């Protein structure tokens, strides 16, 4: 349950970061493709997480669980960093997106690993395993893209 409550805002922020980047011109096509893939992967997961919380009779935004796990989900991008991404352009935006999304994904992988290790719902653990797999692969792609910008 806590995994779902923390992963929803985390995924929503990744989608917002991708949307912010995709609204720009003059971007490296590989970065555009990656941002598009991130949105395509995370939007259905958000829906699934919300559906689970509804089925479990839980509130989507239970702050009591958030505070018990240290406040906000791991890897969340600060408001200042979100603004920097919104105002960046071209290659600077691509580079900033890749750096911010790498840290963001590292937080998601850490949260997902906790669910794999300690979770009690098999479906949530399966999603967590998929998040570890896909986002770890995307982290490697982002590291490679950063060297080529």
CATH number of domain containing 138: 1.20.1260.10
CA distance 81 to 85: 6
From the list 56, 39, 71, the residue with the least C-alpha distance to 4 is 56
Crossing angle of the two packed helices 122-148 and 2-22, in degrees rounded to 10: 30
Q: How many domains does the chain have?
A: 1
Residue 127 lies in a domain: yes
Residue 29 lies in a domain: yes
Instruction: Output the pTM of the full model.
Output: 0.91
Residue 90 lies in a domain: yes
Residue 68 lies in a domain: no
Domain ranges, residue 113: 2-57+76-148
Residue 70 lies in a domain: no
pLDDT in 10s for each residue of the chain, 149 residues: 889 999 999 999 999 999 999 999 989 999 999 999 999 999 999 999 999 999 999 988 754 444 444 456 778 999 999 999 999 998 899 999 999 999 999 999 999 999 999 999 999 999 999 999 999 999 999 999 999 98
Residue 65 lies in a domain: no
């Amino acid at each position: 349950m806590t995994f779902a409550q923390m992963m929803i805002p985390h995924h929503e922020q990744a989608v917002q970061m991708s949307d912010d980047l995709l609204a720009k011109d003059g971007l490296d096509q590989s970065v555009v493709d990656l941002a598009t893939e991130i949105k395509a992967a995370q939007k259905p997961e958000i829906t699934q997480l919300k559906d689970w919380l509804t089925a479990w009779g839980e509130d989507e935004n239970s702050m009591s669980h958030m505070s018990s796990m240290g406040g906000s989900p791991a890897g969340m991008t600060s408001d200042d960093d979100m603004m920097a991404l919104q105002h960046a352009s071209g290659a600077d935006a691509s580079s900033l997106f890749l750096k911010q999304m790498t840290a963001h994904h590292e937080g998601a992988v850490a949260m997902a690993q906790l669910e794999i290790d300690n979770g009690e719902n098999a479906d949530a653990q399966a999603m967590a395993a998929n998040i570890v797999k896909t986002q770890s692969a995307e982290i490697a792609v982002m590291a490679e893209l950063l060297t080529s910008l």
